[in-house]
């Protein structure tokens, strides 16, 4: 019997080891299943939205008489489809919108109308495979390896085993490889099944699997350093539990609090409220002043900027856009603050490897804060195209009928416009 096969036999005979590995495999499988279900819900919601758009546009054609009513009543879909790896690391997708229907009205309130849709509130997320890998797998490794040497000492076998020829290579190395291999099998097998179901690109799947292996290697190294000490198994277990608690929970939470305190950002809900209040106040501001301020931004529209004393769509959409400009600095500060926090968190990840590896997983799955901010920027680029499409009709006073709704710019998820 080889060293590896002997260690496999010993693990199979150990009820505690098999129970730990079985529970880990169940957790990993459940996490993959929940991740696939979450991604499927997002995709189904996006498909329903896109399928309903033609129906809504046909209803709109029945009463649209000019560009203003088309711009006001015409909602346009934008969406951020989950990547083929999102099931493994949901990241901020559970609190950020996967889709948003926008109009040519003030955009900032549409983006920030629900603070729960802001990446500022990104939390550890749902129960996904990344959670199992970062938080649960280290505990199983600790359970399997903390008494690697101390258990043999307490059983009175250590000196006899250490005296065997090639003990380090044939005994201890084999024991570590088999137990770590069992943990990796419990994690990687469900992941690979999920990747096949999700159609994950091989290179991306390999990269994520590599991160799982890195987590296992990191914690194996930490455990072996502690287990080499001459203390009792209970002391090793307590020490490693304290290290796990500090590295995975306390230190990252403390770093997050410090980063948030060092980089304040405007409140998203307050920003949306200020945007709406400024827009609503536009009804009472001098109309001529509103048009002058707007034409400073679009001087090319000046020839057709004359408005009557009665209601005018030109004036209405002018003060809508000025509402966005009113909070533009705060909105920029918000995005830059979130980006700065993400940069500092990434830097902290080098000092706190578990946090850094978790960030790498969400970045690879394109479910991190950066991906959500990128979606917002694509919405902004599309909204500008949408506004300017209608400006062309409004300020040139070209006729706009139901057939023109088919010419409205469509959102491209790849480029945003």
pLDDT digits (tens, 9 = 90+) for 243-289: 999 999 999 999 999 999 999 998 888 999 999 999 999 999 999 99
* pLDDT confidence band for 364 (50 / 70 / 90): very high
User: Closest Cα to residue 330, out of 276, 268, 277?
Assistant: 268
Report the share of the chain in percent with pLDDT over 70: 91
pTM: 0.90
**Mean pLDDT value across residues 301-326:** 95
The rounded distance, in Å, linking the Cα atoms of 220 and 228 is: 12
pLDDT tens readout for residues 87-124: 999 998 877 889 999 999 999 999 987 544 444 444 44
* Res. 346: pLDDT tops 50: yes
Confidence of residue 42 (pLDDT cuts 50, 70, 90): very high
pLDDT at position 167, please?
A: 54
pLDDT given for residue 3 in this prediction: 79
Mean pLDDT of the chain: 91
Can you give the pLDDT at residue 216? Answer: 98
CA distance 157 to 150: 10
Question: 385: which residues sit within 8 A by CB, 6+ positions away?
Answer: 409, 417
């Amino acid at each position: 019997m080889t060293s590896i096969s002997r260690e496999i036999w010993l693990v199979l005979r150990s009820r505690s080891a098999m129970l730990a590995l079985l529970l880990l495999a169940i957790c990993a499988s459940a996490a993959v299943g929940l991740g696939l279900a979450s991604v499927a819900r997002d995709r189904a919601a996006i498909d329903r939205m896109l399928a309903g758009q033609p129906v809504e546009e046909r209803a709109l054609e029945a009463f649209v008489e000019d560009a203003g009513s088309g711009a006001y009543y015409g909602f346009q879909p934008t969406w951020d489809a989950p990547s083929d790896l999102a099931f493994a690391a949901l990241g901020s997708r559970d609190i950020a919108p996967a889709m948003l229907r926008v109009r040519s009205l003030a955009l900032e309130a549409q983006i920030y109308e629900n603070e729960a849709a802001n990446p500022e509130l990104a939390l550890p997320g749902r129960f996904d495979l990344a959670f199992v890998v970062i938080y649960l797998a280290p505990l199983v490794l600790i359970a399997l390896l903390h008494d690697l040497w101390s258990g043999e000492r307490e059983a009175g076998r250590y000196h006899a085993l250490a005296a065997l020829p090639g003990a380090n290579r044939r005994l201890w190395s084999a024991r570590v490889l088999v137990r770590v291999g069992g943990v990796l099998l419990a994690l990687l097998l469900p992941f690979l099944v999920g990747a096949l179901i999700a159609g994950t690109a091989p290179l991306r799947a390999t990269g994520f699997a590599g991160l799982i292996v890195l987590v296992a290697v990191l914690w194996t190294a930490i455990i072996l350093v502690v287990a080499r000490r001459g203390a009792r198994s209970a002391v090793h277990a307590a020490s490693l539990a304290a290290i796990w608690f500090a590295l995975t929970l306390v230190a990252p939470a403390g770093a997050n609090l410090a980063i948030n305190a060092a980089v304040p950002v405007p409140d998203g809900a307050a920003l949306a409220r200020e945007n709406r209040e400024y827009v609503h106040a536009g009804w009472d501001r001098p109309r001529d002043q509103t048009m002058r301020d707007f034409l400073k931004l679009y001087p090319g529209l000046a020839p057709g900027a004359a408005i009557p004393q009665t209601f005018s769509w030109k004036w209405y959409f002018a003060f809508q856009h000025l509402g966005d400009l009113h909070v533009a600095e705060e909105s920029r500060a918000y995005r830059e603050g979130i980006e700065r926090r993400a940069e500092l968190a990434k830097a902290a990840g080098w000092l706190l490897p578990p946090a850094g590896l978790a960030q790498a997983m969400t970045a690879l799955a394109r479910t991190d804060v950066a991906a959500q901010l990128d979606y917002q920027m694509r919405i902004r680029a599309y909204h500008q195209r949408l506004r300017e499409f209608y400006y062309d009709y409004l300020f040139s006073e070209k006729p706009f009928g139901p057939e023109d709704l088919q010419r409205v710019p469509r959102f491209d998820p790849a480029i945003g416009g």
